[in-house]
Amino acid sequence: MRDRETSIQRRRLLIGGAGAALLAGTACRALAQSWPARPIVFICPWSAGGTADLTMRALVSAASKSLGATMVLENRAGAAGMLGATALATAKPDGYTVGQVPLSVTRFTHLGNLRFDPLKDLTYIARTNGQTFGFACLPESRFKSLADLVAFAKANPGKVTCATSGAGGETHVGMMEFASNAGIDINHIPYKGGADALQAVLGGHVDFLSDSSSWAPHVVQGKLRLLATWGEERVPRFKDTPTLKELGYKVVRMAPNGVGAPSGIDPQILAKLRDAFKKAALSEEFKAACDKIDSVVMYLDADAYRKFVEENYAREKIQVEKFGLKQLLS
């Protein structure tokens, strides 16, 4: 009799547990089906007015239209993009927080100063576009060409100053890679974002700028001189400006960025986000915004994007050791 009662109780527990799991699963499906029921926050890890901010606003606009929902861009600038990236990785994975993932997260994790693991704590949604980087200075500068800058830096070690969007970021490491190739010592001046670095150069406080194409409109207007770009080929709009590669420096960088979310997001919600950002990345609206800053659309879907990040993770480990970045930034 006692064995029979025990057996009945066990069956009740099993049935109850299965019922609870069924209810929980049903609730999750219902939440996923009703998503989005409120505005989605898109974290841009760069300051307002910079090149990334301009393209991400167009991307957000196109994705919002695709989803039929409101998406609000929020700037979280600082620490070479890592403040915003950390806010994204540590947000609740409910589909209401997404954002731009700076490729440099794969570098900063090797530096040991990230609160998250980019391979475990982020869900990769889509790679979107690559940056066009370059060096620019004032037109009245003593540097009429990159050769002038190199010659002066060799004769005056540490006296040439360079503004970037933050220590350890792509604009900083790219500048270091160039300096290493050129055999010169440059005095790095980091700012909170590209917009601040640009203003420092325009104001004559720093000798030259290392940045993605925030310099482009000012070069067109004659307010800045473009000394070199970093891509495989010359930028069509600035075809008279050589690349670092053709000048003999082994530097080619485009740092493609993309869109991500916190890990653990519901698969149904993720599928909707993947579809929305694919359409947004391939939209005319986004392409037009990229064209304005000489950026290249480099779309990859979620799986290919994650593989790309994993490969870059391995490459960055080598670069961190090569340039002694951990010691430099500690």
Residue 5's pLDDT band (cuts 50, 70, 90): low
Q: What is the pTM of this model?
A: 0.78
Per-residue pLDDT, 198: 96
- The full set of domain ranges for the chain reads 38-131+254-329, 133-238
More confident residue, 78 or 85: 85
Q: Do 38-131+254-329 and 133-238 show the same overall fold?
A: yes
Homologous superfamily of 38-131+254-329: Bordetella uptake gene, domain 1 (3.40.190.150)
Reported as a single tens digit per residue, the pLDDT across 297-327 is 999 999 999 999 999 999 999 989 988 888 8
Q: Which residue has the higher pLDDT, 34 or 6?
A: 34
Mean pLDDT, the chain, whole residue set: 91
If one looks up domain 133-238 in CATH, what number appears? 3.40.190.10
330 vs 320: CA distance, rounded Å: 13
CA-to-CA separations, 65 to 59, 198, 253, 283, in angstroms, rounded: 10, 32, 32, 11
Q: Look at residue 325 in the predicted model and tell me its pLDDT.
A: 86
pLDDT digits (tens, 9 = 90+) for 111-133: 988 999 999 999 999 999 998 99
Exposure on the CB side of residue 316, measured as CA atoms within 13 A: 26
In angstroms, the Cα distances linking 276 to 54, 262, 270, 297 are 19, 17, 10, 16
pLDDT tens digits, 270-286: 999 999 999 999 999 99
**CA-based R_g, the chain, Å:** 24
> What is the per-residue pLDDT for 327?
82
Site of tokens 């700028």: 209
